[in-house]
Amino acid sequence: MQSCRSNKKTTFDFFDMSPPTDSHFPQMAPSDSKAKIRPMPINTQTRTTSESSTDYNSPMIMVDSTSSVNSLFDNVTNTHQYSRSTTTTTSPILSRNQSSYWSSNSYSNPSSLSKLTESEFSSLVNQKLLESQQPEKLIIMLSGLPASGKSTTSKQLKKYINDHTKFTAEIYNAGNVRRMNKNFDNSDFFDPNNVQGKLDRELYADITINNLIHDLNSNTIQVGFLDATNTTVARRQRMMNIIKKNTTNTWVAIMDVECNDKKLLHFNINGKAHNKDYQNKNYVESIKDFKLRTKHYYKVFEPISHAELQSYPISMYIKVINGGETFKFSSVDPEFEESSELFTVVTDFGSKYFEMEGKRYFEAVDAFYNSENMINEIEAAFD
C-alpha cells in the first residue's frame, strides 16, 4: 500500500503556539523504530510545515513529521475535506477536544493545561500508532430497488476480492437477518404504511450494519458489503452515521445499482421467485407478490443526488446499470485513489466486469427468454 509521506525533515513546535513548560511533558526515550503511518479516510488532517519555525526560546528539534509524536495531535477542522500535496503529510490525529490537555479557551493560556502522567501519555501514543498500523478496510454500502442486481454484483465483487487479493470480503444481507427473525407472509410487510413493518425493517438494517462493523473491527474481514435496499436518504444517512461513529481507518463507498431495462428486470424478478421467501409457493403468485413489493419501494424511493453524496465523507461512488452495461466511478477521494490498494482492486474489477460477468449474464437472459417452457409462465406472471 502506498503511503502519502514526505521524506523531508521538518520542524515545528508541539501545538503551533507558545508551549507549556517542560514539566508538562514526560520525558520519553527516543525510538529506533519508525511507525508506518497510513492515511486515514476519516478524521484526518493535512498539514504543511516549513523548515523555518518561530523561535520560542527553546531548542529547535529536527524530526520526521511522518513518524513524530507531534503529528498525532493535529487539529481537526473538517473531516469531510481532503487535500493532497507533495509538501504535506497526513497523519492519524487526536483532536484537541479529545485530549485532556485541551479545555475551553486553554489554547490562549498554555500554562493552564493539565498534566498527563507518563503512562497515560505513552498509552495514548501507542493507541494511535496501533490504529495507524491496522490493515486498510472498506465498507461498500449498497443502494437500489429490489431486483436491480445488488446482491449479484456484491457476490461477484466479493469473490473477486477473496480469490485475487490479500483482502477478505464478506456480504451482510439485511434480508437474511429478516428471515432469521421473522416468517415472511407477503409483500404487505414492505408497505410504507405498515408502521410495525417499517420499524422491523430499520431494526434489521441496524443488526446487519452492526454485524458488519463487529467483524471489520475484529479484523475478521477487511471489506464488508452492506447489502440492503437503502432506498431513502434518511436510511442512508443513518447507516453513514453508524459507520462513522463506530469505525476507524475505514474507507466507505456507495454502490448504487439500477436496472431500467424491462427485459432484464423480468429476468431478475424471475430469480426472486425461487428465493427463501417463496419456497414451496406457486411461481406465478410469487412473481406477482414480488412485483407488489417493488411497487411499495417505488413509493418511497429517493435516488442518490450529487448534493447527498457531497454530504458524506465517502471514498468513492460506484454506479452500476443494467447488469454492468454501465460501471462507472465518481466522487473519488484523492487520498483513496492515491494511497489505497482497495481502490485499485475495485476499479480493476469494474474495468473487467463485462468480460468476467456481464457476458455470462446476458447469455443467461437470452436463454431464459428463448426457453419455450417459460413463455407461458412469463406472460402470465408479467402481464
* Residue-wise pLDDT tens digits, 100-155: 333 344 444 555 557 788 888 888 787 666 655 678 999 999 999 999 999 999 99
pLDDT of residue 364: 95
117 plus 171 within the same structural domain: no
Q: Give the residue ranges of the chain where pLDDT is below 50.
A: 1-108
Quick one: which of 17, 13, 14 has its CA closest to 108?
17
144 plus 293 within the same structural domain: yes
47-72 pLDDT, tens digit each? 333 333 444 444 443 434 343 334 33
14 falls within a domain: no
10 falls within a domain: no
Query: Which residue is listed with cell 503511518?
Result: 37
62 plus 177 within the same structural domain: no
DSSP for 291-360, written as a single string: HHHHHHHHHH--PPPHHHHHTS--SEEEEEETTTTEEEEES--HHHHHH-HHHHHHHHHHHHHIIIIIHH
Q: Which of 111, 132, 153 is the last residue of a domain?
A: 132
123 plus 155 within the same structural domain: no
187 plus 116 within the same structural domain: no
What one-letter code names the amino acid at 200?
Answer: D
Q: CA-to-CA distance for 90 and 44, rounded, in angstroms?
A: 7
- Give the strand pairing for 326-330 and 316-321: antiparallel
CB distance 1 to 136 below 8 Å: yes
107 falls within a domain: yes
320 plus 259 within the same structural domain: yes
Q: Which of 132, 149, 165 is the last residue of a domain?
A: 132
124 plus 145 within the same structural domain: no
43 falls within a domain: yes
Half-sphere exposure of 105 (CA within 13 A, CB side): 0
Q: Look up residue 375 and give its three cell numbers.
A: 413463455
CATH assignment at residue 366: 3.40.50.300
Return the bridge partners of 169, or none: 223
Phi-psi region of 219 (alpha: psi -120 to 50; beta: other; left: phi over 0): left
Question: What residues make up the domain containing 286?
Answer: 137-382
Alpha helices for the chain (secondary structure H): 118-132, 150-164, 174-181, 195-217, 233-246, 262-272, 283-300, 306-310, 334-339, 341-353, 359-370, 372-382
4 falls within a domain: no
Quick one: which of 217, 216, 234 has its CA closest to 225?
216
Direct distance between the N- and C-terminal alpha carbons of the chain, in angstroms, rounded to an integer: 53
233 falls within a domain: yes
96 plus 197 within the same structural domain: no
Q: Which of 132, 150, 177 is the last residue of a domain?
A: 132
Backbone angles phi, psi at 347, to 5 degrees: -70, -35
3 falls within a domain: no
112 plus 237 within the same structural domain: no
109 plus 169 within the same structural domain: no
pLDDT of residue 82: 32
15 falls within a domain: no
pLDDT of residue 331: 96
Report the domain count for the chain: 2
279 plus 234 within the same structural domain: yes
121 plus 200 within the same structural domain: no
